[in-house]
């Protein structure tokens, strides 16, 4: 087997920080002020590696982050990420000490949550969630008196108030109307609070699609996730946009075994693939435990030597099989691109999502924790891993 610099990894994620920088510049071009960008790095930055991504963002001057959970927030602080870190989801009030200690900002998800946090008698910063029509988290316009009460709490220091749009990605008239209804609901609450001379703090309602499709809203923050990673949730959204995005993540593996099967032989669990003639097949060490959707069995494809080749048989937990009969000169050790560019061939995550009946967000955030995240152009192997392999 030819030695390559990837020898120490079975499969890996490659992160292109230049693409990240490009996307940030594009997104900021839609804002009045770069500081309005709140980087959503929940779920390990949608599978990209939250610490590496946030460190790069900090270097670029981004100082507002959002995560889903307390432990995600603490991970960032423990890795010296500076600036505001907003926890978008629920945190048990019993954890108030940690919220305080790590200087985090907690979302108040409803009135009972606010009461529980206040009863801890620990000073913490919070943003109030408003339910403007998604019916997930937050207080509603009908609860305006309760919202006002929260502003009078002694231990909750309210730094902001926000809501979330549920159809801002859809361009039908009904969805546009519903989004406008949500926006009106939200700003009605803001108006009511201001009428009482309350300092509402930072106001925000848009995520990626809210920014793209409702860019004239001019809030204090936009919470950008998926588009920062250079990806649209769905394939159809790739066209006709006012900004250009470059995907940050590639997913690669390598061929570890090549062999032939004869006519009428079957492959893998369930014997779902039967060959119509003698075929050359290759085994790739990546499977559904790494986040490859099992729906792509006998359906998806990968790129080898800049050519698309089909996945055949059922995808296993840790491996999959491809048909390389049509390409000459493929060797064990050759690189397989599952997401990303190889020569002229490209496989985008939107296509994989479409073929698996889901959105890019799910594909990316499911990429397994056992895949190393490598910075493109950076150090590819840790010394220890190379040594370990050489000793064998
Ligand atoms: C995940 C999330 C976001 C980011 O959404 P994208 O569509 O990825 O930009 C923003 N706000 C909230 C409340 C979220 O949960």
| Residue 42 a catalytic site member | yes
Hey, which residues does 374 pair with through a beta bridge?
A: 14
The whole-number pLDDT of residue 378 equals 64
Beta-carbon contacts of 371 under 8 Å, excluding residues fewer than 6 positions away, are 11, 12, 13, 251, 290, 291
Q: Which atom of ligand 1 is nearest to the CA of 211?
A: 9
Closest CA to 86 of 19, 48, 40, 147: 40
Closest CA to 342 of 382, 302, 288: 302
Hey, which residues does 163 pair with through a beta bridge?
A: 130
Our mutation pick for probing the ligand 1 site, out of 225, 243, 353, counting the most ligand atoms within 8 A of Cβ, is: 225
Q: Which atom of ligand 1 is nearest to the CA of 162?
A: 13
Distance 40 CA to ligand 1 centre (A): 7
Which residue CA neighbors atom 7 of ligand 1 most closely?
Answer: 208
Instruction: Out of 171, 194, 263, 269, pick the active-site residue.
Output: 269
Q: What is the 3-state secondary structure (H, E, C) of the chain?
A: CCCCCCCCCCEEEEECHHHHHHHHHHHHCCCCCHHHEEEECHHHHHCCCHHHHHHHHHHCCCCEEEECCHHHHHHHHHCCCCCEEEECCCCCHHHHHHHHHCCCEEEECCHHHHHHHHHCCCCEEEEEEECCCCCCCCECHHHHHHHHHHHCCCCEEEEEEEECCCCCCCCCHHHHHHHHHHHHHHHHHHHHHHHCCCCCCEEEEECHHHHHHCCCCCCCEEEECHHHHCCCCCHHHHCCCCCCCCCCEEEEEECCEEEEECCCCEECHHHCEECCCCEEEEEECCCHHHCCCHHHCCCCEEEECCEEEEEECCCCCCCEEEECCCCCCCCCCCEEEEEEEECCEEECHHHHHHHCCCCHHHHHHCCCCCCCEEECCCCCCCHHHHHHHHHC
| Residue 97 a catalytic site member | no
Closest CA to 10 of 182, 251, 250: 251
> Using an 8 Å Cβ cutoff, are 86 and 108 in contact?
no
Instruction: Out of 42, 56, 202, 254, pick the active-site residue.
Output: 42
Closest CA to 117 of 69, 156, 164: 156
Each residue's pLDDT, cut to its tens digit, for the chain (392 residues) gives 444 555 678 999 999 999 999 999 999 999 999 999 999 999 999 999 999 999 999 999 999 999 999 999 999 999 999 999 999 999 999 999 999 999 999 999 999 999 999 999 999 999 999 999 999 999 999 999 999 999 999 999 999 999 999 999 999 999 999 999 999 999 999 999 999 999 999 999 999 999 999 999 999 999 999 999 999 999 999 987 889 999 999 999 999 999 999 999 999 999 999 999 999 999 999 999 999 999 999 999 999 999 999 999 999 999 999 999 999 999 999 999 999 999 999 999 999 999 999 999 999 999 999 999 999 986 554 444 443 333 33
Q: What is the mean pLDDT of the chain?
A: 94
Distance 224 CA to ligand 1 centre (A): 6
CB distance 224 to ligand 1 below 6 Å: yes
Whole-angstrom distance, CA of residue 250 vs CA of residue 347: 9
Distance 226 CA to ligand 1 centre (A): 8
Q: Which atom of ligand 1 is nearest to the CA of 223?
A: 10
177-199 residue pLDDT tens:
999 999 999 999 999 999 999 99
Our mutation pick for probing the ligand 1 site, out of 66, 87, 160, counting the most ligand atoms within 8 A of Cβ, is: 66
Q: What angle do CA 138, 141, 146 make, to 5 degrees?
A: 70
Whole-angstrom distance, CA of residue 132 vs CA of residue 139: 8
Distance 276 CA to ligand 1 centre (A): 47
Beta-carbon contacts of 113 under 8 Å, excluding residues fewer than 6 positions away, are 90, 93
pTM for the model: 0.94
283-315 residue pLDDT tens:
999 999 999 999 999 999 999 999 999 999 999
CB distance 225 to ligand 1 below 6 Å: yes
The whole-number pLDDT of residue 245 equals 97
Phi/psi zone of residue 270: left (φ > 0), alpha (ψ -120 to 50 degrees), beta?
Answer: left
Q: Which atom of ligand 1 is nearest to the CA of 42?
A: 1
The whole-number pLDDT of residue 7 equals 61
Whole-angstrom distance, CA of residue 376 vs CA of residue 16: 5
């Amino acid at each position: 087997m030819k030695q390559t610099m990837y020898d120490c990894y079975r499969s890996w994620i490659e992160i292109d920080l230049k693409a990240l920088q490009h996307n940030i510049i594009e997104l900021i071009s839609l804002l009045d002020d770069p500081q309005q960008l709140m980087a959503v790095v929940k779920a390990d930055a949608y599978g990209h590696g939250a610490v590496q991504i946030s460190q790069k963002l900090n270097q670029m001057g981004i100082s507002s982050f959002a995560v889903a959970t307390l432990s995600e927030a603490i991970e960032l602080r423990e890795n010296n990420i500076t600036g505001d870190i907003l926890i978008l989801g629920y945190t048990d009030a019993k954890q108030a000490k940690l919220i305080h200690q790590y200087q985090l900002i907690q979302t108040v998800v409803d009135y009972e949550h606010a009461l529980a946090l206040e009863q801890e008698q620990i000073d913490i910063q919070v943003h109030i969630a408003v339910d403007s029509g998604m019916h997930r988290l937050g207080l509603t316009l009908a609860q305006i008196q309760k919202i006002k009460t929260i502003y009078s709490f002694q231990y909750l220091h309210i730094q902001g108030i926000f809501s979330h749009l549920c159809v801002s990605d859809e361009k039908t008239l009904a969805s546009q109307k519903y989004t406008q209804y949500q926006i009106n609901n939200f700003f009605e609450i803001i108006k009511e609070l201001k009428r009482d001379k309350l300092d509402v703090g930072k106001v925000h309602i848009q995520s990626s699609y809210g920014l793209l499709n409702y860019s004239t809203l001019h809030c204090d923050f936009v919470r950008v996730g998926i588009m920062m990673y250079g990806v649209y949730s769905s394939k159809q959204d790739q066209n006709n946009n006012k900004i250009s995005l470059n995907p940050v993540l590639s997913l690669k593996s390598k061929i570890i075994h090549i062999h032939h099967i004869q006519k009428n032989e079957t492959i893998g669990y369930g014997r779902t693939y039967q060959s119509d003639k003698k075929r050359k097949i290759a085994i790739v060490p990546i499977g559904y435990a790494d986040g490859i959707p099992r729906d792509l069995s006998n359906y998806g494809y990968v790129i080898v030597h800049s050519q698309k080749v089909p996945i055949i048989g059922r995808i296993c937990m840790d491996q999959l099989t491809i048909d390389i009969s049509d390409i000459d000169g493929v060797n064990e050790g050759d690189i397989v691109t599952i997401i990303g560019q190889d020569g002229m061939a490209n496989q985008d995550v939107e296509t994989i999502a479409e073929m698996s009946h889901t959105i890019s967000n799910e594909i990316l955030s499911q990429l397994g924790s056992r895949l190393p995240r490598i910075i493109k152009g950076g150090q590819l192997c840790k010394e220890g891993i190379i040594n370990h392999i050489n000793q064998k």
